[in-house]
Structure 1
Amino acid sequence: MNPTPPPDMPTRTLITALQSFGVRLADPRAGLAGRRGGAGPSDHKPMTIDGTTVMVPVHNAPAFDSPLLVEPPDANGLGRLLRDGVPVGTVSFPSTPRFYALTTGDGVPYHHIATLHGRDVLATTVLQECVRYRSRRKTCQFCAIGQSLAAGRTIARKTPEQLAEVARAAVELDGVRHMVMTTGTPPARDRGAAILADSAAAVKAAVDLPIQGQCEPPDEDAWFARLRGAGIDSLGMHLEAVTEPVRQRIMPGKADVPVARYMRAFEAAVPVFGRGQVSTYILAGLGDSVDDILAMCRQLTAIGVYPFVVPFVPIAGTPLESHPSPPPAFIDAILAPLADMLAGAGLSAAAVKAGCARCGACSALRNYEAAGAS
C-alpha cells in the first residue's frame, strides 16, 4: 500500500508543508532515527508519501512546534499524518539499509563513510573538514559539517578505497542507483576538486554507479574536464544564496568566491558535463526574495544549469538554529514558476544522471515538475 495524501491536498503541497514546518513524531523510534549534523540534509528523517521519499526535519526547533504530527505506524508500516489534529495523509519510513551493518577491515562502520539519502542515493562528505568552518568570521552560518565529526558519527577523511568498498556494498545490498560526493573546502586552490577526482575514480573502478561531485568552483576551469574524466557524471556548485548582500551576511567566507565567478564556472562546466548535468543548490529563506531567486534561476536555466531550490532548514547547534523556516506559500511562489521555467529550458530532474536534483528528497520541486507535465 502506498502512503498517500488526501485527494484535496496535492503531494507537492503536503511535502512543502512538511519541509517548511518539520514534523513531530508520536513514536520517535519509528523508522530511521534521523540524521543530525553534517553536510547536506541534517536534522532530517526520510519519509515516503505517495511513492515519493522526502527528507523531513524532525530534530530542529521548528519541528518541535510543528502543527504536523505522525502517529505510530500501523501493522502495514503506515503512520497517519495529522495537521492540528486533522488527518491529512499517511507516511511510511524506509527501512535501515543493510550495508549499515558492515564495517571495513580496519573497523570503520560503513555508515561512518557514506549514508543513504532519500530512497536510493548514497551520499558522502569525502573531507569532513572545511577551511571556512575553522573561523567564526568565515563559517557558513547554516552549516553543521563539524557536528557529526565531533560526535564520532563519521571520520574526517574517507579514502578512495573505503568509498569504493562501501559503494559496491550499497549497490549490491540495497539497490543504490547513484551517489553524491560532497566535500568541505580544503586550503587548496582547486577547492576540493582533486579529492573528488581521486574518490570518483576509485568508485567507478569498483562499481558502475553514476556520481555527482559537489565543490566550490575550482581556480581553473580545466578541472571540469579532469573531474569528468575521473568518473564524475554531474557536477554541483552550490550558491546557497543568490545575492551578494545575503551571501556576505550568511556565508562570509564562501562569499569570497563571488556570484560572478560561479556564473563563469557554470558557463565553462556545462559544455563538459552537458545541459542539466550541472546544478546549484539554492536555499530559499535566507533573505533572498522570491524575485531575487527567480531572476537567478532564469540566468541559470538559460546557461543549462539546473537550479535546485530547497526550503532553508535551521539546524540545531548552528548560528542560524533560531532562524525561521520559510512559509509554504513562499516556497510555492518559487517552485511553481520554476517548474515552468525548467520545462521551457528543456531541463528536468528526471534527466539528471546523479545527485541532489535527481534524488529530489529535500524539495518538492520534482513534484511541481510532474504536476506541470500532467
Structure 2
Amino acid sequence: MSEHSSLINALQTHGLRLVDPRAGHESRRGGAGPSDHKAVTIGETTVMVPVHTAPSFESPFLAEAPDAAGRSRLTRDGREVATLRFPARPRFYDLKTADGVPYSHIATLHSRDVLATTVLQTCIRYESRKKTCQFCAIGQSLAAGRTIARKTPAQLAEVAKAAVELDGVRHMVLTTGTPPGKDRGAAVLAESAAAIKAAVDLPLQGQCEPPEDDAWHQRMFDAGIDTLGMHLEAVTPEVRARIMPGKASVPLEKYFSSFEAAVKVFGRGQVSTYILAGLGDTAEDILAMGEKLCAMGVYPFVVPFVPISGTPLESHPAPDGAFMASILAPLGRMIAQAGIRSADMKAGCGKCGACSALSTYEKLGVPA
C-alpha cells in the first residue's frame, strides 16, 4: 500500500486545519468544483483538501505555518507525518479584463497546472430546492461576488492565454450549470472551446449533462474539446432521486447511451464521469458501476464526498478513509487493466486527479 495513498485518503476525508490560512494561493469557498478546499502538494502529488468544512474544523491534521519556500510540517494529533508544500498564488490572478473583471472571476487555478471555469454560474437544477442537487454550491460564489454569471468566449480565451504564459497551465476544465434546452450546456461549451483554441494551444475538457442529441459530441470535439465529462455523481436510482432529484430526471440509461456515443468520438479513456462516494451508494454499488464504465472505456473518477457549508448536505458525514480505500484499491486495478489510466487522459478532472487518491492506486495496479 502506498503511504501517500492512505495519507491522501485520510486528509480528504478528515480535512485539514491551518495555522496560517493565508498559506499558498487562496482556498476556494462555494461555487462549482472542489469547493471549501485548498491545494497542497505531498511528495510529487498535488491534491485538493477540505479546509472550510465542518469535519475540517475538528480534523486531527494540522498544517504549520509554511517557511519561505512554502514548506509546512503536517502533523496528526501532534505527531509529524509529512511535509506539505503550498502552491504559490497564480500571477494571472493580478490581472483584469479590458472591461475591468478580475481574471480570477473568469477562471481559477486548480492544483498546480489546471485552469478551471464554470462558464454558466446558473443552473436550472439550482433554481428550485425541490430539484437542486443537495451537495451543490454553484450559486454561492456568484452571490458572494467572486465570479460572474456568464463568462464570454472572449474572456475565457484571454484568461486561458495568460494562465498558460504566466503560470504554466497545461490543461483546462470547462464546466457549466445546466441551461434550459436539449443540448444541456453542450452549445455554450463548444462556443467557449472554439474561442480558447483560437487563442492558445491548450487541451480542454468539457463537462455537461448528456445532451439529448448525440450529434453534440462531435460538435464539441470539432470545436476543440479534447475530453468529455458527464457526471453521474451517484450510481443507484434510489440515491440519485434522493440526492439530486432534478438531475435524476435524466435516467441512467441515457447516460449509458451517451457514454457509448461519446467514446466513439473522443476515444477510450477520454470520456469520464465523476462519482461521489459517501452519499449512500455502497462500495459494491460503486465498484459494479466502475466495472461497467471501464468496459465501455469511460474513466470512473471516484472522489470522497465533501460536505460544503451552506448546502442541504453540509452536516452529512464525509466517508472515512477505510471506505474510500475499499473502493479505490480495486477500482485502480480495474482502470489499469482496462488501459484507461488517468495519465493518458488529455485533459480534465481525472487527469488532474487532485480531488481523489485514485491515481495513486492506479499505479499499484498492473504494469503498463
Smaller-chain TM-score bracket? over 0.9
How big is the shift at 1:370?
1.7
1:155 counterpart SS class: coil
Q: 1:331 corresponds to which residue? A: 324
Whether 1:367 and 2:360 are equivalent positions in the alignment is: yes
Whether 1:200 and 2:193 are equivalent positions in the alignment is: yes
- 1:132 and 1:365 mapped to 2: Cα distance? 29
How many pairs does the alignment contain? Answer: 367
Q: 1:148 corresponds to which residue? A: 141
Bigger mean CA offset, 279-288 vs 84-93: 84-93
How big is the shift at 1:373?
5.1
- 1:211 and 1:61 mapped to 2: Cα distance? 33
Q: 1:92 corresponds to which residue? A: 85
Q: 2:245 corresponds to which residue? A: 252
1:123 counterpart SS class: strand
Cα deviation, 1:92-124, whole Å, max 9, x if unaligned, reads 100000000000000000000000001111000
Q: 1:119 corresponds to which residue? A: 112
2:156 counterpart SS class: helix
Cα deviation, 1:157-196, whole Å, max 9, x if unaligned, reads 0000000000000000001000000000001110000000
- 2:21 and 2:39 mapped to 1: Cα distance? 13
Q: Do the aligned residues in 1 keep the contact of 2:23 with 2:70 (CA within 8 Å)?
A: no
Q: 2:303 corresponds to which residue? A: 310
How big is the shift at 1:51?
1.1
1:127 counterpart SS class: coil
- 2:253 and 2:364 mapped to 1: Cα distance? 33
Q: Which amino acid aligns with 2:159?
A: V
Q: Which amino acid aligns with 2:54?
A: A
Q: 1:221 corresponds to which residue? A: 214
- 1:229 and 1:70 mapped to 2: Cα distance? 45
1:145 counterpart SS class: coil
Q: 2:159 corresponds to which residue? A: 166
Whether 1:16 and 2:36 are equivalent positions in the alignment is: no
Q: 2:21 corresponds to which residue? A: 28
How big is the shift at 1:31?
1.4
- 1:318 and 1:208 mapped to 2: Cα distance? 37
- 1:76 and 1:185 mapped to 2: Cα distance? 41
Q: Do the aligned residues in 1 keep the contact of 2:335 with 2:341 (CA within 8 Å)?
A: yes
Cα deviation, 1:279-312, whole Å, max 9, x if unaligned, reads 0000000000000000000110000000000000
Gaps of at least 5 residues in structure 2 are none
1:371 counterpart SS class: coil
Q: What is the percentage of aligned positions where both structures have the same residue?
A: 72
Q: 2:42 corresponds to which residue? A: 49
Q: 2:335 corresponds to which residue? A: 342
- 1:14 and 1:131 mapped to 2: Cα distance? 38
TM-score, length-normalised on structure 2?
Answer: 0.98
Q: Of residues 187, 211, 226 in structure 1, which corresponds to 2:180?
A: 187
Q: Which amino acid aligns with 2:265?
A: V
How big is the shift at 1:218?
0.4
Q: Which amino acid aligns with 1:177?
A: R
Q: RMSD of the TM alignment (CA)?
A: 1.0
Q: 2:56 corresponds to which residue? A: 63
Q: Of residues 274, 280, 305 in structure 2, which corresponds to 1:287?
A: 280
How big is the shift at 1:9?
6.8
- 1:31 and 1:303 mapped to 2: Cα distance? 39
Q: Which amino acid aligns with 1:47?
A: V
How big is the shift at 1:371?
2.8
How big is the shift at 1:343?
1.2
Q: Which amino acid aligns with 2:197?
A: K
TM-score, length-normalised on structure 1?
Answer: 0.97
How big is the shift at 1:221?
0.4
How big is the shift at 1:150?
0.2
- 1:91 and 1:371 mapped to 2: Cα distance? 23
Q: 1:3 corresponds to which residue? A: none
Evaluate the alpha carbon distance shift between residue 9 and residue 242 of structure 1 in structure 2; reply closer, same or farther with a 3 A threshold. Answer: closer
Gaps of at least 5 residues in structure 1 are 1-7
How big is the shift at 1:73?
1.1
Q: Of residues 31, 36, 53 in structure 2, which corresponds to 1:38?
A: 31
1:144 counterpart SS class: coil
Q: Which amino acid aligns with 2:36?
A: D
Q: 2:349 corresponds to which residue? A: 356
- 1:121 and 1:188 mapped to 2: Cα distance? 29
Evaluate the alpha carbon distance shift between residue 22 and residue 11 of structure 1 in structure 2; reply closer, same or farther with a 3 A threshold. Answer: same
Cα deviation, 1:186-223, whole Å, max 9, x if unaligned, reads 01110000000000000000000000000000010010
Q: Which amino acid aligns with 2:120?
A: L
